[in-house]
């Protein structure tokens, strides 16, 4: 007797679709008749097809129901006959499912609803942008100086946006800060206040007063810069390494971002080009620079002006060798170099250390306070009178300027009982206009000094 089977016992199909039913059978001797029955009625042969599988005795009978409707619902059986007997498959129950009208209604309303909500969302975003723009214009109108910029987001203090400095300035505020480098009633520049360490730290006890102090002192700093821009010269790649036409006490060096004074103990320079490496190291040797801080962002390519392997850099009268390199911590990589003089009558060697930053994210404008504090430690530990801050380009000079201001503050703390952030920043800005150009940069100077004082217990 033939062995006949169906893969399912029940099947639900959608009204209007084509439905395919197939049964498998194995018959020996060969079947004499194969047909389908629905509710005990034999189905006409026009819709039945036969399939065979090469290498197998199992064959299939396929029943196709076109444009299925409710009349096709029922019980189906596949029947196979041969000379021995008749085999029957299990019963397959077919049910017909209509597409629910509720689903069609949901689909009909869903698309217009999504479109409407999207349009409303776009309108709200557009209105929000207009409100922010108007508010920004209103805030900017409070300041006369074009250098007073707002809106930089930073992550190193409770003042998350420069808009927080938009506080009402009263007559009492002006009188109180008249001696701290702020503006008086007629906006004339007054002297700056010299802090002791304890007086400086007391500024941070009152957030509002601290913000007013930063706001007024920065405005004063900006106006003092605008009234005296002759103190410095701009970076000039085409200049000779040393401009001899300037007097000895005021010289300009190739690739330096500041005009150097003879008494300057912290130089700022951009990375030398390949054709000026020898001149750069001659400058390092002449000025007794033993500590170099290379401010470098992640994935930022820097010209190889120092050796990173056993291969030394040969220059006229100078030879630069790598002694060793080490990763000091997650923020700094240290290279120990030897700068050797090749002149016959003056053979000597100068140790030079390069501290390279490794944790400055490309998206961040400022280095984290932790890294800045470690770099300040480097400048404070330098035994030589000169150190060097290096940047990839002028865009990073702001960060170098912040470090220079803070390093000069701590040098003043070491040499005296009082110091003035305003006066030191004023001198730095007179040397180069991009240092502390924005109020958030000036605030960072205060926060870095506070952080370094407290973390190193310099009280």
Q: Which CATH architecture has domain 3-97?
A: Sandwich (2.60)
The answer to pTM > 0.95 is no
Nearest to 278 by CA among 229, 315, 233, 223: 315
* pLDDT the model gives residue 263: 46
Separation of alpha carbons 150 and 245, rounded Å? 40
Please state the domain extents for the chain.
Answer: 3-97, 228-392
Helix axes 397-415, 369-381, angle to 10 degrees: 50
Tokens 């401010």 — which residue?
295
- The strand pair at 58-65 and 386-391 is best described as unpaired
| Cβ atoms 26, 2 nearer than 8 A | yes
Q: What does the block give as tokens for 437?
A: 């150009």
What residues have CB less than 8 Å from 211, skipping those under 6 apart?
159, 164, 165, 167
pLDDT digits (tens, 9 = 90+) for 413-449: 888 878 899 998 888 777 666 565 688 888 999 999 9
Q: Which residues contact 425 (CB under 8 A, 6 or more apart)?
A: 221, 405, 435, 436, 442, 445
Write the pLDDT tens digit of every residue in 186-226.
Answer: 333 343 578 899 999 998 999 999 999 999 888 888 777 65
Q: DSSP for 15-47?
A: TTS-EEEEEEEE-SS--SEEEEEETTEEPPGGG
CA-angle at 76, arms to 2 and 48, nearest 5°: 70
Distance CA 59, CA 315 (A): 89
Q: How far apart are CA 257 and CA 269, in angstroms?
A: 5
Q: Which CATH number fits domain 228-392: 3.90.190.10, 3.40.190.80, 3.20.20.70, 3.40.50.720?
A: 3.90.190.10
Q: What is the pLDDT of residue 87?
A: 93
DSSP 39-81: TTEEPPGGGEEEEE-TT-SEEEEEEEESS--GGG-EEEEEEEE
The SS3 call for residue 323 is strand
421 φ, ψ (degrees, to nearest 5):
-60, -40
Residue ranges for the chain with pLDDT beneath 50: 102, 141-191, 229-264, 459
Each residue's pLDDT tens digit, 238-271: 333 333 334 433 333 333 433 334 344 667 777 8
């Amino acid at each position: 007797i033939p062995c006949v089977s169906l893969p399912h016992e029940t099947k639900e199909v959608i009204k209007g679709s084509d439905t395919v039913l197939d049964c498998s059978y194995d018959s020996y001797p060969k079947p004499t008749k194969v047909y389908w029955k629905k509710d005990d009625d034999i189905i006409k042969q026009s819709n039945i097809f036969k399939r065979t599988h090469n290498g197998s005795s199992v064959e299939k009978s396929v029943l196709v129901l076109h444009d299925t409707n409710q009349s096709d619902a029922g019980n189906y059986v596949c029947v196979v006959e041969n000379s021995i007997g008749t085999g029957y498959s299990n019963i397959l129950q077919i049910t017909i499912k209509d597409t629910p009208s509720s689903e069609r209604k949901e689909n009909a309303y869903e698309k217009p609803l999504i479109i409407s909500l999207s349009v409303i969302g776009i309108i709200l975003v557009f209105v929000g942008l207009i409100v922010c723009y108007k508010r920004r214009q209103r805030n900017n109108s409070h300041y006369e100086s074009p250098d007073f910029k707002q809106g930089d987001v930073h992550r190193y203090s409770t003042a998350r946006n420069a808009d927080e400095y938009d506080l009402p300035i009263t007559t009492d505020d002006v009188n109180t800060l008249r001696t701290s480098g702020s503006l008086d009633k007629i906006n004339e520049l007054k002297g700056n206040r010299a802090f002791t360490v304890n007086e400086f730290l007391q500024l941070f006890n009152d957030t509002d007063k601290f913000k007013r102090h930063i706001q007024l002192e920065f405005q004063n700093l900006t106006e003092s810069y605008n009234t005296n821009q002759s103190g410095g010269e701009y970076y000039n790649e085409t200049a000779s390494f040393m401009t001899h036409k300037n007097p000895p006490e005021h010289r300009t060096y190739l690739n330096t971002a500041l005009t150097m004074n003879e008494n300057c103990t912290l130089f700022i320079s951009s990375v030398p080009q390949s054709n000026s490496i020898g001149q750069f190291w001659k400058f390092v040797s002449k000025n007794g620079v033993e500590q170099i801080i290379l401010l470098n962002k992640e994935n930022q390519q820097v010209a190889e002006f120092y050796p990173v392997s056993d291969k030394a850099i040969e220059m006229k009268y100078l030879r630069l060798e790598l002694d060793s390199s080490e990763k000091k911590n997650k923020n700094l990589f240290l290279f120990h170099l030897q700068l050797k003089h090749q002149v016959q009558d003056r053979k000597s060697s100068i140790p030079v250390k390069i501290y390279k930053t490794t944790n400055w994210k490309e998206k961040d404008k400022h280095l984290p306070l932790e890294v800045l504090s470690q770099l300040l430690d480097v400048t404070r530990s330098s035994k030589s009178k000169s150190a060097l801050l290096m940047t990839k380009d002028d865009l990073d000079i702001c960060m170098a300027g912040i470090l220079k201001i803070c390093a000069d503050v701590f040098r003043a703390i070491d040499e005296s009982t009082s110091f003035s952030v305003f006066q030191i920043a004023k001198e730095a800005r007179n040397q180069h206009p991009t240092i502390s150009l924005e109020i958030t940069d000036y605030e960072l100077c205060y926060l870095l000094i506070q952080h370094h004082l407290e973390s190193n217990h310099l009280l």
